[in-house]
Amino acid sequence: MSQVSEPGIVTPTPLITPRRAARLRLIRLSALLVVLVLLAVAVVGVVTATGPPTLADLRSQAGLDGKQELLIGVKDDQPGVSQLMEDGSYRGFDIDIAYMIAADLGFKRRQVRFLPIESEDRARRQAYDGSAFVTVDLVIASYSISQQRRDQGVVFSEPYLETEQSVLTLSSYSGPVNGLRDLRGRRVCTLATSTSELRLREYGAEASGKNRISECVQALYNGTVDAVTTDAAILAGFVAPLAPDAKPKHPLHGVKPLRHWDIGEDAAEKWGVNTGPNHAMKELVDWSLYQAATRPGRDAWDAAFEANLAREQPANGPPPANGPQQVAVGQQPECRKVKVRQWPWESMILVPLDPARRAARRAGRARGRGSSGC
């Protein structure tokens, strides 16, 4: 209000007293100082703000610049999850998730190399490439996240699938299996170093650990074990019929009808990616999973689930089939928001859909299934 009444430099008829004018000048000076300090601090703040890293920063920190191929350790004997075919290709949910993550890391499909990895080698990321053991960049091998494994130094990404433990027997198996305690005294096979093996021992079963789940199922067919237990998403693949065009490199022999038992375990098995100790790599994988869950138009997770695991559900469905045992939760598990600095228009770039994913997406819509979001 001072501007009206306060005299300027050469005001002939002052409207206010000189004392009041001086007070107004003082107030203005104080306001100016406050504004200048505030703006100076704000300018320094915005000019020096670095914000979260960019994707390029993370890729560089993860050592991906100049890298010609991404090595991913996967299982090769788990139908529906990750299985090696006669022609050398891999198929399954883990494989599709691996391709999705690799694309976000900047690798095309042909720049991804899968190496079979044994259960015991997953923590150390050691896979055999045909001539020697190599350290893979990522392990995406139905690897359950557990505190014990974290304590051993395994760095997990956010979870990408939620399933539970279940039991597989021959259809001819007599007794019901309503819980692991029903397996007391039975010969039960499971994966070595798996979370299932620990629980079996707690319930007094005669547990034998093998490095490959297919060996367990083969032992079941051969009659040398009574039951196999591990994650339902893995076992469901053995119960469901193979896709008509699937020709596994390591087929099982003496195949017999199987029965999949829901053992009422409430502990969820959440699968994660072993990203190794590089923090940037973990951030990149988590960002990829977060994008899959939240960005509209990104349906790679749904497509992977529909094409591999949802297909197995009828065979594992309610009686008189072998169930009911849910293969896995049909929604992407909740995951952490990863902040990455991007140009505003980068969010508009959508991954083009291939025909298979488009079909899976349509099927997903028809069933009303969608990812949960984070």
Partner 1 sequence: MTLLPAFPVLLLVLRLWQLSRQDMPTMLLLVQYVSPLGLLSALLIALVWAFPLVVLGTGVLGSVLRVSAPERFDPDRSLLAYVTARTPGWVLAAASVLAALTWQMRFLPALLMIVVWLIGLRVRYRYPDRADLLLALGLVLPLLAGLVAYVWLAPAIVSALRHGELATAALLGVPPAAAVVLTGPLPRRSAPLLTQLASYLVAAMVPLVTGTVFLQVPLLPAVAVEVGPPPPEPAVEVVPGQAVTVTDRMTIVLDRSSRVRFIPNEQVRAQLLCPGPERVPVSEVTVHGWPVEQTALDWMMPRQRPEPIDGRCSGRLAETG
Report residue 120 as tokens: 């015991």
Nearest distance in Å: CB 361, partner 1: 20
Stretch 287-326: interaction string toward partner 1, x if CB under 8 A: ----------------------------------------
Distances (CA, A) of 149 to 230, 265, 336: 17, 20, 20
**Structural contact between residues 293 and 118, judged by C-beta atoms closer than 8 angstroms:** no
Contacting residue, 58, 59, 81, 100, with partner 1 by CB under 8 A: 59
Question: What is the per-residue burial (b if ≥16 Cβ within 10 Å, else e) of 319-353?
Answer: eeebbebbbbbbbbbebeebebeeeeeeeeeeeee
List all residues 6 or more positions away from 151 whose beta carbon is below 8 Å from its beta carbon.
none
Q: Does 66 bind partner 1 (CB under 8 A)?
A: yes
**Structural contact between residues 116 and 84, judged by C-beta atoms closer than 8 angstroms:** yes
Residue closer to partner 1 (CB basis): 187 or 341: 341
Q: Does 64 bind partner 1 (CB under 8 A)?
A: yes
Q: Does 110 bind partner 1 (CB under 8 A)?
A: yes
Nearest distance in Å: CB 246, partner 1: 22
List all residues 6 or more positions away from 16 whose beta carbon is below 8 Å from its beta carbon.
5, 6, 7
Stretch 37-56: interaction string toward partner 1, x if CB under 8 A: -xx-xxx-xxx-xxx--x--
In sequence order, the β-bridge partners of residue 208 are: 189
Residue closer to partner 1 (CB basis): 24 or 252: 24
Residue closer to partner 1 (CB basis): 129 or 202: 129
Residue closer to partner 1 (CB basis): 257 or 345: 345
Of the candidates 144, 92, 83, 90, which has an alpha carbon nearest to the alpha carbon of residue 273?
144
Instruction: Give the count of residues interacting with partner 1 (CB under 8 A).
Output: 55
Residues 227, 228, 234: CA angle, nearest 5 degrees: 150
Residue closer to partner 1 (CB basis): 67 or 361: 67
Interface with partner 1 by CB under 8 A: which residues?
Answer: 1-4, 6-12, 22, 24-26, 28-29, 31-32, 35-36, 38-39, 41-43, 45-47, 49-51, 54, 59, 64-69, 106-108, 110-113, 341-346, 348-349
